[in-house]
A and B are shown apart, each in its own frame.
Chain A
Amino acid sequence: MTKSNGIILLVDDEPWLSEALAATLESKGFSCVFATDMTAGIKALEENSVAALVTDIMMPPGSQFPHVNANEVGFHFIDYVQKHWRGLPIVCLSVIGDHAKIHLLTRKGIRYLRKGETPLSTAVEVITAVALGRKVRI
């Protein structure tokens, strides 16, 4: 299978969830790179030309951001990415239940998918659409 659709960066400290997502995305022509904390996520963005970022919220900050609270890392990461990689499509895959925070994310143009509840097929469809610059109709 040629991986012509581009690179998806999956940032999550629970890699077993990324495994199923990556297997399906790769079968649809994407390449996947992985990172398990914010520091590694930024490094992966610097080293790869990424078509879309999929990130969790609760994860370790890594060595470059030791003072960022692990429960909030994803928010800081998204802000950082939006500042330095303007226009990069971002999908947030998390279990946060705080509607105000989810609303804030969506206002920033982030697609929010709830972990454990969103079917894999839906997640793949959303990620594929944002990576290819298509409108998401879910």
Chain B
Amino acid sequence: MIEDGTKRQIDALEAENAALKEELEESRRSTTQYLQNVAHQLTAPLGAIKWSIEALKDEAVPIQRKGKLLSSIYSQGTILVHLIKNFSLMSNLEADHELGQFRDKPERVDPLRLAINLANDFQPQAAEGGKKIYVNENSFKEIFDGTSILVVKNLIAQALSNLLENAVKYSNLRTAIYIEAQEVKLPEDNELFLAISVRSIGIAISSHEIKKLHNRGFRGSTAKQKIPAGTGIGLYIAKRIMDLHEGLVLVRTNGNETIVLLCFPQSRVQ
């Protein structure tokens, strides 16, 4: 005969076990969905490149169309390289984060030059949707005043690329995307940061969703409806990179306008 107390314990353990099983099942489901999503993200640009090459080889396709196909191959190549870099960074960043140190040595980087180079990189992709990326050079001159930021260049380039990729992807057709520099003072402790921001007009993000945007794999509901395919790792990686630089990623919205900022502590501005 089992005593009441023991039976209660068994019931509690069984309930806990069932909850854990359900959690595991949910985790399996989301991993499967995530992997399918990743596969789709890789397949789509590769498929486009393959088809563009096939069309280029077709003598019946007029030469004017072939120029556009070549631009498409370039854009898809950029998307692929960027995507693969993000995936390979994911594991490295976790390790760096645990160690609290960089794999590579930080170097002095001109933030304006970085912004211009990345804007040029994403311009063809933006042009496909009639969008254009502008770098507000005056804001960089005013805020950074010719100084550099002491950072791991590849990592910061990837963080800014992720912001630009999101802006190009989610902004409205035929709109402008701005890369600017600005000062950011945190209200809680008045700490001053110098930031590189990416501003675009597109999807309205709720305050509830803003809090989750840095979570790995999270994508806003409106974003998923507008662009079904996506990995939800761009801002997560940007945040990990900025954490390593003692910096921040801030997201500010005003209706359909979204501004995402990479904030550098003054100790990194030299």
Contacts and interface: CB of A to CB of B under 8 A. Distances in A.
B44 A60 contact: no
Given A14-B48, A70-B224, A95-B43, A20 B36 contact: no
B51 interface: yes
Interface in A35-70: 58-61, 66, 70
Contacts of B224: 70
A134 to B, nearest CB: 19
Nearest to A36: B173
B229 interface: yes
B228 A97 contact: no
- Interface range on chain A (Cβ under 8 Å from partner): 20 to 34
B39 to A, nearest CB: 8
Interface string A103-123: 000000000000111011101
Interface stretch (A2-10, A22-30, A76-84, A125-133): A22-30
Interface stretch (B53-61, B83-91, B107-115, B206-214): B53-61
Given A24-B58, A27-B58, A95-B43, A16 B48 contact: yes
B54 A58 contact: no
A23 B228 contact: no
Contacts of B231: none
Interface stretch (B69-77, B135-143, B157-165): B69-77
Interface string B204-227: 000000000000000000001111
Contacts of B50: 116, 119-120
A16 B58 contact: no
A17 interface: yes
User: What does DSSP make chain B's interface, helix, strand, loop or mixed?
Assistant: helix
Contacts of A121: 54
A23 B44 contact: no
Contacts of B153: none
A116 B36 contact: no
Given A115-B44, A115-B47, A116-B44, A20 B72 contact: yes
B225 A66 contact: yes
A77 B72 CA distance: 27
Nearest to B44: A14
A21 interface: yes
A46 B16 CA distance: 56
Which 7 residue pairs spanning A and B have beta carbons closest together? A116-B47, A20-B51, A27-B60, A70-B228, A116-B43, A120-B54, A20-B55
Interface of B: 36, 39-40, 43-48, 50-52, 54-55, 58, 60-62, 65-66, 68-69, 72, 75-76, 128, 224-229
Interface of A: 13-17, 19-21, 23-24, 26-28, 58-61, 66, 70-71, 73, 95, 97, 115-117, 119-121, 123
17 contacts: A13-B228, A16-B45, A17-B44, A19-B69, A20-B48, A20-B54, A23-B66, A23-B68, A24-B61, A27-B62, A28-B60, A58-B228, A71-B228, A95-B40, A95-B44, A115-B47, A116-B44
